[in-house]
Structure 1
Amino acid sequence: MSGKLRPPEHVRLLAARLYWDARPPSYPSLREMHTDLRRTATYYAHVSRGRQHLHVTVSRWVHVRASADTMCNTQIGSVRAATTALRRAGYHPGRFDRLMLFTEQCRAASSAAQLPGRVSWIRYASPGMATLVHELGHNMGLGHAYGVVCRQDGRRVALGGTCLPVEYGDSWDAMGHSKGFFSAPELVRLGWAGKIRDVRRSGTFRLADVQHSRSAEQALRIRSGGTTYWVEYQPQHSPVIGRTIPGVMIRRQVDGGPVELVDASPGNPTGISYPDGDLTNSALPVGSSLTTPEHIRITTVATGRHAKVRVGFDRTTAVPDAPVVRSAAQVGGGGYQVRWDAPTDNGQIVLGYRVTSWPSGRSTYVRSPAGYHTSVHVPLDKSAIGRTTFTVRALNQDGWSARSDPLRGTVYGPNVSVTSPASGARVARGFAVTVEATPDSHTHSPPTSAWAEVGSVACTSEDGSGPYDLMCARAPRGRQILTVHVENAYGVTTDFTMTVLVRRH
C-alpha cells in the first residue's frame, strides 16, 4: 500500500477503562496506563520529529451495560455501548480524535483498530507501549508490516526462486510484530521522514541509526522500474521477543504493493516461531552482499555508530570464492575443531559451508549465513589419526565454491617424561624404564598404555594410566636409542626418545 497520509499535528486521545462484571479487573492499573500512554506520546513526538503530539485523558473504570460477547467480539456494538457508558459517566468521546477501549476482561490474544479511523480495541492486560503505538498506527492509515520469504532449489534464499509475502513478517517495524521504529517508507508516507537519499549511481553511502538520524541520511531509496528498494540501519534490537542480530535492513515494494522486509540473512533463525523465525533475523551482515533480480548489488561494508553501505548497478553474481581453513585441532570430546575464514560471496550472501574430512570423505553441513558460524566440531576418525585433512566449500544461491586447500588436523598426545634412566646413562643389558604420563591440556585424554624399544629390541608394554615400569631385556650393546611410546584414550601416541649406553657386561 502506498500514498501519502496526513496525520494530525495534535491528537486528543480518550483512554477508556471499561468493565461489565460486578467489579472492575485489577489490570491495567491507573499507574500502568499512564506509564504506557506517556511512553507512547513520547514515541510519537520522537518518530514524527515533533510533528505530532499526543494528548491523553485516562478515564476511571466505567461500567458498560453490555455482554462480554458484545464488548469482545463486536466493533460497532462495543463502540455504541462504550460511548453510552462514557457519556453517562461524564466523558464526551465525540470531543476526542481517538478513542481507545481497554477491555482487559476479554483476555484476548490480540487487539484491533480501525484502518483508518479513530477507535482501537485493547483487549488484554498490560499491553505495553508497542501495542498502543501499533494500533494508533492503524488509525492513521498504516497497515501491517510485511516480510517476504523466498525459496530456490529447496533452500531459503534472500531474493529469487519462489517468493511469498508474510503478514506481520517485518519484526523491525512498529507495524509488524515489533517494539521498534516505523520503517523509512512509512515515515515518508506520514511526512515524518528525515533525509532520504535517492541512489541512481554506484557508490558507498553512510547511514545513520534510523531512530536517531537527525540531519544525517536516514535511508537509501533505490528505484528500478516498478520496484523500489529501501535500505536503513537498525543498530538496536527491535522484535518483541527473542535474541536477534541488528544491522542493515533491506525492504522492497513492487508495483505499489506492500513494503516487504527482505530476509537478507537466510538460514539464520532465532527460534521464534511467529511470524517467521528466519525472517526475524534479516539484517545483511558486514562483508555480505545481496544482488536483486534487477542486478542491483547492496553490500554492508561496516557497522557501528553509523553503517557504511555500498550500492552497485548492473552487477552479476557467481559462486563464492573458496574458503581458507585456518586451523583444525583436536579438542576435548574426541574430535577436531575446524575453523575457516568466510570467503568473498561474489554478490549473494553465503548460506552455509560443507566441511569434509579425508581420507574418510565424511561431510558436515554448517548452516551459516555470511559466516556467523565459521567453525564446527568434527568427530575423530581413529583409523586416520595423525593423517586426517580437512577441506571446506561455501554455498550461495548460485551454487558451491571450489574446495579450500586441505589442512592436516593437529592431534595431541599425552605429556611424557622418563624418570629412569637418565638420558645418556650407562645401563645393563637388562634395565628398567620408569615412565610418567599425564593428559594433554587440549583434550585432557588420559593415558591408556605404554611400550618401548631400545635399538631394534622391544621392551615390555603396560596398560593403564601410569606411571609405567617397563623392562628392556637383552638390549644391544653400545650406544643405543631408547624410544618410549604412550597412547591416550583417543589413540594418539606421544613418542619420547633418548640415548643410553648399554654396557658389555
Structure 2
Amino acid sequence: MRVDTSFGNTCDSAGRRRTSSNVRPSRANFSSSASSRSSCSGWGSKRDVAKVTQGNSLGRRPGRRPLHGYAHGVRRLVLALVAAAALAGPPAAPAIEGQLRTVLIPVTWGPQPLTDAQVRGLADGAASFLHTASFGRLTVVTDTTPWLHAFDAPPTCTNIRSIRDAAGAAASATGIDLPGYNRRVYLLPYDVASCQLLGTFALTVGRDILVVGRFRAETIAHELGHSFGLGHARRELCTSTCTLDEYGDPRDAMANAAGDFNPLEKSLAGWLPAPTPLAEAGDFVVDQFEVPSTLPQALVVSTAAGEYWIDHREPLGNDAALTGPAVDGIEVRLRAEPVLSAALTLTPSTLVSDRQDRTAGVVLPGASFVAPGAFQLDVLDHVDTHVGIRFRWLDRTAPRQVQIARPRATRGIVHLSWRASPDSGSGVFRYEVSLDGRRTGSTSAKALDVTTRTGPHVVAIVAVDRAGNRSRSASRRFIVG
C-alpha cells in the first residue's frame, strides 16, 4: 500500500490557446453497482533620516460546436463547532494518492434501514467517484460490516464524542482493527426525536466520518473530501443585497450536488496540474476538467480580492449527467480563506459567476464576467470540449505609496522593510527597490536585504500592481555607521 500525505501539484504547459486536446471520456458515476475503486514597526516619513549602526541588535484556440444536483438539508455548521470543541486535535494526514483504506460500519440501537448490499453500494459508489475525480490516482479500498448494536437508545445528535466512542467500541468489540484504516465511516439511522434540530446530516472529524440518515454515495465522497482538506463549494447570489449560500454550488459534490469536484478542489488534492495564470491581456482556452487533457483545465486570475478560478464542465466522467447551459459556458469562483472546522483546516470556494442566477451559474458564449475595478473575461465560443476566453485588466488605479520602515543593519547587511501598499483592484504584484538611484532588486515580499558600504544612503521603493500601474516612489534616507 502506498499512501501520499502531501497536497503536491505538478506543472502543466502554458495556457495560451492551442490546437489539440487529449480527451478520454469516462462514464463512472455514483451508481451503487460501481466497482470498488477510487482516490508577514517602526514606520516613519520617507524624508526621515535614520542612523543605522551595524551590530547584532538589530493555450491558443481551435474551432466550434453546438450549444447545448443531494439536497443536504444539513445544519452542519453548528454541529461542526460542537465537534471541534469536543474533539480538538490534529487532523489526520490524508492519503491523496495510492490506496485509501476505509471501512463503513453501520451502527444502531435497533433499526437497520440499509441492507448489506446497499451498504456495499454506498462504498462502491463513493470509491468510483473518487477514482474518476482523481484521474485514477486514488483508489479507495473499502471494507463493510453488518449492522452493529452500539446504543441502547437513539443517541443525542449533538453529542458527537459519545456517538463516536460508542460506535468505535462496538466495532472494536468485533475485532475490527480501527487504527489500521485511513478513514472510518459510521452509518447511523435517523431518529426524528433525537435529531430534530439537525435533521439528517454528515460530519467529518479527523479520520472519522459520521453519517446520520444521509445514505448516499455522494455524501460519503463529500465527507472524504473534507478529510482531504476540501471546504464547501459555496455560491454568492445577489438581488438588492448579496448572500452567501454555504452549500450553493448547483453542481459540485462539495456542495449539495453530485457533480465532480471543481479544479480548485482537485488542485488542493494534488490531482490536477497547476492552473494557468492570466497575467497579460489575450485570448485563452480552458478545457473540461473531468478527464485528463493536454490543454489547460483551469485558469487563475490573482487580484487584491483573491484568486479567481475559471473552469468549464462537460458531460464526462462524474459530470456525465449534466446537460444544458451548465456544460456550455464557464464557471468563475473565488478561493476562500481556509477555515478551521472540526479539527480540520478546510479551503472553501465561492461560485461568483451568474450572481443573479439567470444562466445556471455559468457565463455563456457572448457574455462577460466582470470583477469591478480588476478584470474582465469575455466568453468567445464553445468548441469541442473547451471554451475560448478573452482576458483584459480593467484596473487603471495606481497603488498607494508605500511607507518605509527604519532600516536596520546586521553584520554588513541592511534590512529594508515596508508596509504593504493598499490596492483594491488587481493587487500589488511586486515592489521595485532602488538604492542611491540604482535598481537593487524586485520582490513580492515586504522586505529585502541589501549589502552596502558605510555612509549615507537613500532607498526608494515603487509598488507595481498586476495590471502594470505604478505607485509614486517612496524614499527614505539612512546612514550606515
Matched, 1:200 2:279: yes
Aligned pair in 2 of structure 1 residues 112, 105: CA closer, same or farther (>3 Å)? Answer: closer
Instruction: Choose the corresponding residue for 1:110, options 197, 200, 204.
Output: 200
Q: CA deviation at 1:13?
A: 1.0
Please state how far the C-alpha of 1:138 moved relative to its aligned partner.
1.5
Verify: 1:180 aligned to 2:269, yes or no.
no
Partner residue, 2:228: 140
Match of 1:253 in 2: 335
Give aligned-pair identity as a percent.
Answer: 22
Once the two structures are superposed, the pairs formed by residues 291-330 of structure 1 within 5 Å of their partners are 291-315=370-394
Query: Are the aligned partners of 1:204 and 1:309 in contact in 2 as well (CA < 8 Å)?
Result: yes
CA distance in 2, matches of 1:132, 1:143: 14
Paired with 2:129 and 2:226, the residues of 1 have a C-alpha distance of 15
Question: Could you tell me whether the CA contact under 8 Å between 2:333 and 2:351 is conserved in 1?
Answer: yes
Q: 1:220 Cα shift?
A: 0.5
Q: Give the drift of 1:255.
A: 6.6
Whether 1:131 aligns to 2:219 is: yes
- How far apart are residue 204 of structure 1 and its match? 2.0
Quick one: structure 1 residues 13 and 77, their matched pair in 2 at CA, closer, same or farther if it must change by over 3 Å? same
The amino acid across from 1:7 in the alignment is P
Work out whether residues 175 and 182 of structure 1, in 8 Å CA contact, stay in contact via their aligned partners in 2. Answer: yes
- Structure 2 counterpart of 1:222, one-letter code: V
The one of 169, 174, 180 equivalent to 1:84 is 169
Q: 1:91-102 maps to which residues of 2 (within 5 A)?
A: 91-102=176-187
**Equivalent in 85, 88, 94 of residue 7 of structure 1:** 94
Residues 201, 177 of structure 1: alpha-carbon distance in 2 compared, 3 angstrom cutoff: same
Code of the residue aligned with 1:97 in structure 2: it is: N
Over 3 Å counting, the alpha-carbon distance change for 1:254 and 1:177 in structure 2 is: closer
1:230 aligns with 2:309: yes
Change (3 A) 1:46 1:95: same
Other-structure match for 1:121 = 210
How big is the shift at 1:174? 1.6
| Superimposed CA distance per residue, residues 53-109 of structure 1 (whole angstroms, 9 cap, x where no aligned partner) | 211110011111442024x44211011111111122232222212111111243664
1:402-452 per-residue CA deviation (whole Å, 9 max, x = no partner) reads xxxxxxxxxxxxxxxxxxxxxxxxxxxxxxxxxxxxxxxxxxxxxxxxxxx
What is the CA–CA distance in structure 1 between the aligned matches of 2:314 and 2:270, rounded to whole Å? 23
Q: Secondary structure at the match of 1:191?
A: coil
Give the direction of change, closer, same or farther, for the CA distance of 1:92–1:66 in structure 2 (3 Å limit). farther
Letter in 1 for 2:236: V
- CA deviation after TM superposition for structure 1 residue 177, in Å: 1.1
Alignment partner, residue 479 of structure 2: none
**Match of 2:325, as an amino acid?**
I
Q: What is the alpha-carbon root mean square deviation over aligned residues? A: 3.1
> Secondary structure at 2:297's aligned position in 1?
strand
Greater RCO (Cα-Cα under 8 Å, separation 6 or more): 2
Shift of the 134–76 alpha-carbon distance from structure 1 to 2, 3 Å rule, reads: same
Q: Within 2, Cα distance between the matches of 1:285 and 1:106?
A: 44
Deviation for aligned residue 1:287 = 0.8
Q: 1:267 to 1:191 in 2, by over 3 A?
A: closer
Q: Considering only CA atoms, is the larger Rg found in Structure 1 or Structure 2? A: 1
TM-score (norm 1): 0.52
Q: Deviations over 1:254-301 (max 9, x none)?
A: 6778421014262528xxxxxxxxxxx201111111111234111222
| Compared CA separation, residues 240 and 46, structure 1 to 2 (3 A) | closer
Q: Which amino acid aligns with 1:192?
A: W
Decide whether aligned partners of structure 1 residues 214 and 36 sit closer, same or farther in structure 2, where only a CA change above 3 A counts: farther
> Is the contact made by 2:260 and 2:290 (CA closer than 8 Å) also made in structure 1?
yes
Question: Of 340, 365, 376, which aligns to 1:286?
Answer: 365
Q: Secondary structure at the match of 1:32?
A: helix
TM-score (norm 2): 0.54
Match of 2:141 in 1: 55
Shift of 1:312: 2.3
Asked if 2 retains the 8 angstrom alpha-carbon contact of 1:250 and 1:261, the reply is yes
Structure 2: which amino acid aligns with 1:210? F
The number of residue pairs the alignment matches comes to 289
2:231 & 2:337 partners in 1: Cα distance?
17
Which of 86, 89, 105 pairs up with 1:16?
105
Secondary structure of 1:83's partner? helix
Corresponding residue of 1:345: none
Q: Flag the 1:296–1:12 CA change in 2: closer, same or farther, 3 A.
A: same
Gaps of 5+ in 2: 1-5, 9-92, 339-346, 396-481
Secondary structure of 1:234's partner?
Answer: coil
- Measured after TM superposition, the shift of residue 253 of structure 1 is 3.0
User: Please, which runs of 5 or more residues in structure 1 have no aligned partner?
Assistant: 155-161, 270-280, 317-505
Q: Which amino acid aligns with 2:332?
A: I
Alignment match, 2:25: none
Contact 2:230 2:268 in 1 (8 A): no
Runs of 4+ in 1 over 4 A off after TM superposition: 3-6, 237-244, 254-258
Decide whether aligned partners of structure 1 residues 267 and 95 sit closer, same or farther in structure 2, where only a CA change above 3 A counts: closer
Q: Is the 8 A contact 1:300 1:307 kept in 2?
A: no
User: What does residue 371 of structure 1 align with?
Assistant: none
Find the residue that maps to 2:372 and give its secondary structure. Answer: coil
1:264 corresponds to: 354
How far apart are 1:239 and its partner, in Å?
A: 9.7
Which whole-Å CA distance do the structure 1 matches of 2:394 and 2:146 have between them? 62
8 Å CA contact retained: 1:177, 1:239: no
Shift of the 243–69 alpha-carbon distance from structure 1 to 2, 3 Å rule, reads farther
Superposed displacement of residue 20, structure 1:
0.9
Q: In the alignment, is the contact (CA less than 8 A) between 1:14 and 1:57 conserved in 2?
A: yes
Q: 1:141 to 1:195 in 2, by over 3 A?
A: closer
